[in-house]
Structure 1
Amino acid sequence: MTTTERPATERLVIIGGDAAGMSAASQARRMKGPDELEIVAFERGHFSSFSACGIPYWVSGDVGERDELIARTPEEHRKRSIDLRMRTEVTEIDVAGRRVRSRDLETGEDAWTGWDKLVIATGARPVRPALPGIDAPGVHGVQTLDDGQALLDTLDRAAGRRAVVVGAGYIGVEMAEALLKHGYEVTVVNRGEQPMATLDPDMGRLVHEAMSGMGITTVSGTAVTAILTGDDGRARAVATDDAEYPADVVVLGLGVEPETTLARAAGLPLGRHGGLLTDLAMRVRGHDDIWAGGDCVEVLDLVSGRERHIALGTHANKHGQIIGANAGGGYGTFPGVVGTAVSKVCDLEIARTGLREKDAREVGLQYVTATIESTSRAGYFPGAAPMTVKMLAERRTGRLLGVQIVGREGAAKRVDIAAVALTAGLTVEQVTALDLGYAPPFSPVWDPVQVAARKATAAVRAGG
C-alpha cells in the first residue's frame, strides 16, 4: 500500500465522479486555481458526469447514442486541473486521520490519500432484494451506462419478446415504455396498490388505466418471490405467490436507497432513510471540513418540515454547486425541496409536487382535497389534451400542500406552477389569483392548476 502525503496547497478530495461530485469539483476550480487548491476525485465506474435519468430514453431509442448522456468526460475534467481517477474505488474514510483509502480496480493496488477538505458524493444504489435468481443472466438494473448497454445487448439477442418489469415507480414505467418500443410484450409487477406510489392511489389508478390502454399489463398488489431460470441458467419467468409471468428479459425498477456504506463505517451522521445529514451549506453535521451531496444525502422537505431522500439529478447538481462554492472559499446554501418530479410512459405525462394524502397524515396535517378534469389548451383549440389535477390544501389555513397531475401533452410541466407556489408558501386562494400566461394554444382561460385551486378554496371554506 502506498501513501500520498498532503501537499502545501489545500487538497480537496471528492468521492464520486458523477453529478454532485463533479459539479462540486468544477465549481471549486472556478473559485480557486490549482496553485491554491488541488482537487482529487475518485470514481469507481467507467464514466463521469453522465445522466442516469436519460438511460431509459437511450434504451428506448429516443436518445441515439450513449455518449449523448455524458456531460463531461474524464479528459475534459483533467484539462481543468481536476485529478479524476477513474476505476478507483474508495474503500475507507479515516475521519480522524483526514485521509481516504482507495483501490485501483484494474491493478488491485491500495493507496491512502490525505485531504484538507472532503466531499462525499457516493450516490444511491438500486434496491436489489435477495431473491432466488436475482443475479441470473437476463436480469437487469438500469443505474449506470454499463447497465444500459448490457440491457440493450440482451434485448438484441433475446430468443423471445416477453419482458417483465419489477416495480412501477419512475424507472419502472419509463422502462416499460422502452421495452414496448423494442417490440416486447411487457408486464409490470408491482407490490403497491397502483403504479407510481409517489401519487395517491386514485391518481395512480389513472396511470394504470392508461398503461393498460397502451398494451402494458400491470399486476398490482403482488410481491415478486423469485426469478425462475431455465436449463441454461437464464431468467425465464418472474414468480409471485400465486402466478408466474414468462420473461425473456427482466428489468428491476424497485427504486434506490442512499449509498452510505462508507459514511456509516466512518461514524458520520445518517437520517431515518439512511442518507447523510447535512446543514444548509451541505456540510456534514458536526464536521467542518466534510460536505456531502446528491443521492447519498437527505434533504429538508419545505412542506412537511421533515428530512426526505429524493434521488434526482436536479438536486445533485445544485448540491454540487453549493458544495464547490463553500469548499472553494465562497458561500452558498441549499434550503430544501418540495418534492417535484415528472415522468412519462408513452404519451402519458405524470407529475407531482408537495405532499400526498399519506404524507400529510404522517406529519399530523389536516387537509382537504380537490380533483378536477381539464384540458391543456382551450377546449375548442386543435390538440387540446385531457388532464386530471389533484390538489391538497391545509384545512382552515388553505395553505397549498401538494399537487398531482396525470394527462397528455402539456400536462406535466404545469406542476412547476405548484412547485413555485409551495416554495413561496401560498394558499390555494392565492394560487387562483396568480397572473399566468393565457392564449388558446397554450391554456384554457382558467389554467387547470387554478381550476383545481378554486375547487380547493371552496373546500377549505366549506370545511375550515
Structure 2
Amino acid sequence: MLSLGRRVAFRTATIKRAARSVTIGCSASMATEAAGGKRRVLIVGGVAGGASCAARLRRMDEQAEITIFERGPYVSFANCGLPYFVGDVIKEQSSLLVANAAKFNKWFNVAVRESTEVVAIDRAAKTVTARDVTSGQESVHPYDYLVLSPGGNAIRPPLPGADLPGIFVVKTIPDANAIKAWVAEKNAKSAVVVGGGFIGLEMVENLVHRGLKCSLVEMLPQVMPPYDPEMVEPAHERLRAAGVDLHLGDGVAGFDRAPDGGLIVRTAGGKAHAADLVVLAIGVRPETTLARQAGLELGSRGGIRVDEHMRTSDAAIFAVGDAAEVKDFVTGEQTLIPLAGPANRQGRIVADVITGNEPSRFRGSQGTSVVGLFGLTLAATGASEKTLRRLGAAHQKVYLHINNHAGYYPGAKQIDIKLLFDPKDGRVLGMQSVGEEGVEKRVDVVAMAIQKGATVFDLEEAELCYAPQYGSAKDPVNMVGMVAANVVRGMHPLTTWDELDLQQLATDPGVVLVDVREPSELDKVGKVAGAVNMPLSGLRQQLAKLQDKDKKYYVYCQVGLRGYVATRQFLQNGFDAVNVSGGFKSFQQQLPDRSAKL
C-alpha cells in the first residue's frame, strides 16, 4: 500500500501527466482545425491495435477521415485462435473474423483497404505510399496523423532447408489454412513443432487433437521461457503424458527432405526427427521496416520507440502493438510484449490522444498471460524470478500448493502458486501459477494488485468470492498473501529448495533436515534423502525431549502448511528453525531429476 506521501505524489504526477496529455491532444486538434479540414488519420495494420484505434477514434470524432491499410486479406481477426482453428476446435474460419471491411464501413464509416501494403512514409510531406499487393498499383495518401500497427513477423530462421514445402509458421489465417490443407492432402500422421512458447504449446495440443503424433523441440531446457523453470515442470509432465516426444535443450540446426517425401528436422545435438510437417513457433520479431526507413527512432529491444502516449519520435506518428517498444510496468525496463490485450489498450489511447478527449497514457505492460495445455492452465503476471535475478533486484518468494476450492466440496484440484515480492515492504512483484482449475482467476486478482502497487498485506486482506464450489473462506490469494506477509513480519523464517545445499545438509552435523509428514506418506510419495522424520502429530512430545538447541533445523512437509506449523513450534521452544517453502511438492518441481531417483 502506498504511504500517504507517496499517494499524494502519485496523484500530483498523474494530474501533471493529464494536463500534458490534454495540452498535446488539444494543440494537435486545434492545428488540424486551423488548417480548415477534417482530421485525416491513416492506420497501417488492423488486427488488434489498429482496429481498436479506428473504432475508438470514430466514437470520439464523427468527422475524422479514417483509413486502415491492411496488407493481408483480413482487417481484424483473432490470431490467438489460429491454433484452435487448425485443430478443428474452432470449426469455421468466419468465427475468427472480429470485424470485416464492410462492418468497419457500415458501423464506423472507416475506409478499409485490405490486401494493401504501405511501402513508404514521407514525413516531410506527411504522406504514405500504398501498394495493392495483387495489381502492384501504388497510390499516395496524405495524413494529419499516422498510426503504425504493423505487428510482428513470425520468425523463420535462416537455417538450411527452412523454406522446404511442409514447413509452416502460424501468424495469419492463410497460414492456418495452409497447415490444414497440407494435413488433409498429405494425410499427415506426424508433426514436429519447433519452439515451446505459447503458440508452440497450443499447436502441439491441437495437432494431437487432430490425431497427429507430435514432437516438440525447444532450444532451452524448459517450455514457456518467460516462466521460471520449476513452474513449468507440470507442463513437461503433461506433455509426456499426452504422448508428445519432448526434446529440451536442443536447438534446430536444419531441415532435410526425407526419402519418403516427408521432412527431417536435424538438431544441434545431432538428433534427427522425422515428420510429415513442421511448425515453426520460435516467436515474432517486431515489424519495423517502415519505421526504420522513415527515420523513426527505434528502441534498445529493436521495437519502435514510443512515449507514454504511444507517440514516436515524430509527433504526428504513433505506434501500437507488437512493433512498439514499451515500459515493463514492474521493472521499468524497455520491453516487447506481443499480447493482444496491451495492443487493444494502446490503440484506444492513441485515439484519445489524437482527439484530445482524454488525458490517456499507457502505464506499461506487466506481461499478464495464460496458456492451456491438455487440461492444464499456466498463467503469470509481473516479473519472473529470472528477470529479477538478472536485474539484481531484491526479492523474496514463497510457494503454495492449495486446492482451487473448498476441499470438502467434490472435485477440488490443486493449484501451484509462486509469489514474488519485495522483502522490505512486501510490494507484489509477480506471480506464476499452474493447475487444472481456478488458476487464471487468481493470477487476474494479483495482476490488478500489481497495477495498484499493492503489497502482500493487501492480498492477505483481499475480500474475494466464496462458495464451496468456487473457492475457500481463505482464498488461495489470501493464503499466499498470509504466507508472504508472515515472512515480511519476521514470523516465518523461510527458505527454498534451490537455496539449500542438500549435500551439505547430509554431512554438516550442525544442521538437521526434518520431515514432519506421517510415515505412511513417505512410503507413498517419497522422501528427501537424509531427512529425519518427526511427524507433526507427535512433534510437541519429541521437542520436549530434544536437547540439540545449538543446531539449525530445516523443516518441510508435503506442501508447506504443516512445515510452517512445525516451524512455529520449534521457534517457540527455543530452537533455530526454518520452513522450506512448498514442501516436498516444490522439491519435486525444483529438482525433478533428483526426485525421480528417490
Q: Taking structure 1 as the reference length, what is the TM-score of the superposition? A: 0.94
Check if 1:374 corresponds to 2:402.
yes
Which of 291, 302, 311 is 1:283 aligned to?
311
Structure 2 gap segments, 5+ residues each: 1-34, 495-598
Which structure has the highest helix share of the two?
2
CA contact (8 A) 1:87 1:106 kept: yes
Which residue in the other structure is 1:175 paired with?
Answer: 203
Which of 387, 393, 398 is 2:415 aligned to?
387
Check if 1:313 corresponds to 2:340.
yes
Which residue in the other structure is 1:51 paired with?
Answer: 78
> What is the SS of the residue equivalent to 1:76?
helix
Q: 1:189-200 counterparts in 2 under 5 A?
A: 189-200=217-228
AA at the equivalent of 2:129? R
Check if 1:25 corresponds to 2:50.
no
> What is the SS of the residue equivalent to 1:330?
coil
Which residue in the other structure is 1:348 paired with?
Answer: 376
How far apart are 1:345 and its partner, in Å?
Answer: 0.8
Check if 1:73 corresponds to 2:100.
yes
Between the aligned partners of 1:262 and 1:243, the Cα distance in structure 2 is 40
Distance 1:145 1:341, change over 3 A: same
> What is the SS of the residue equivalent to 2:53?
helix
Q: 1:213-232 counterparts in 2 under 5 A?
A: 213-230=241-258
Q: What's the CA shift string for 1:335-355, capped at 9, x where partnerless?
A: 122220011111000000011
Between the aligned partners of 1:233 and 1:186, the Cα distance in structure 2 is 18
Check if 1:15 corresponds to 2:39.
no
> What is the SS of the residue equivalent to 2:305?
coil
Check if 1:155 corresponds to 2:183.
yes
> What is the SS of the residue equivalent to 2:99?
coil
AA at the equivalent of 1:413? K
How far apart are 1:238 and its partner, in Å?
Answer: 4.4
Q: What's the CA shift string for 1:227-274, capped at 9, x where partnerless?
A: 221358753444443201111111111111211111112111221221
Worse-superposed segment, 229-238 or 13-22? 229-238
Between the aligned partners of 2:375 and 2:396, the Cα distance in structure 1 is 30
How far apart are 1:82 and its partner, in Å?
Answer: 1.4
Between the aligned partners of 2:473 and 2:322, the Cα distance in structure 1 is 40
Q: What's the CA shift string for 1:126-157, capped at 9, x where partnerless?
A: 12211111111111111001111111111222
Which residue in the other structure is 1:40 paired with?
Answer: 67
AA at the equivalent of 1:336? G
Which residue in the other structure is 1:292 paired with?
Answer: 319
Check if 1:415 corresponds to 2:443.
yes
> What is the SS of the residue equivalent to 2:279?
strand
CA contact (8 A) 1:237 1:248 kept: no
Check if 1:186 corresponds to 2:231.
no
Which residue in the other structure is 1:327 paired with?
Answer: 354
How far apart are 1:326 and its partner, in Å?
Answer: 2.3
Worse-superposed segment, 237-246 or 364-373? 237-246
CA contact (8 A) 2:51 2:76 kept: yes
Worse-superposed segment, 269-278 or 100-109? 269-278
AA at the equivalent of 2:339? L
AA at the equivalent of 2:186? A
Q: Taking structure 2 as the reference length, what is the TM-score of the superposition? A: 0.74
Which of 76, 91, 107 is 2:135 aligned to?
107
AA at the equivalent of 1:321? R
Identity of aligned residues (%): 37
Which residue in the other structure is 1:3 paired with?
Answer: none
Q: What's the CA shift string for 1:88-136, capped at 9, x where partnerless?
A: 1111112122111111111111222111111111111112211111111
Q: 1:64-143 counterparts in 2 under 5 A?
A: 64-79=91-106, 80-143=108-171
Distance 1:129 1:405, change over 3 A: same
How far apart are 1:453 and its partner, in Å?
Answer: 2.3
Between the aligned partners of 1:414 and 1:248, the Cα distance in structure 2 is 40
CA contact (8 A) 1:169 1:197 kept: yes
Q: What's the CA shift string for 1:41-77, capped at 9, x where partnerless?
A: 2111010110111111112222121111111101111
Between the aligned partners of 1:272 and 1:22, the Cα distance in structure 2 is 27
Between the aligned partners of 2:236 and 2:440, the Cα distance in structure 1 is 17
> What is the SS of the residue equivalent to 1:242?
coil
Worse-superposed segment, 316-325 or 195-204? 316-325
How far apart are 1:383 and its partner, in Å?
Answer: 1.5
CA RMSD between the two structures: 1.8
Q: What's the CA shift string for 1:414-442, capped at 9, x where partnerless?
A: 20011011111111122111111111101
Larger Rg: 2
Worse-superposed segment, 107-116 or 448-457? 448-457
AA at the equivalent of 1:200? D
CA contact (8 A) 1:236 1:246 kept: yes
CA contact (8 A) 1:228 1:239 kept: no
Between the aligned partners of 1:323 and 1:54, the Cα distance in structure 2 is 26
Which residue in the other structure is 1:201 paired with?
Answer: 229
Between the aligned partners of 1:305 and 1:389, the Cα distance in structure 2 is 24
Which of 454, 459, 476 is 1:426 aligned to?
454
Distance 1:161 1:232, change over 3 A: closer
Aligned residue-pair number: 456
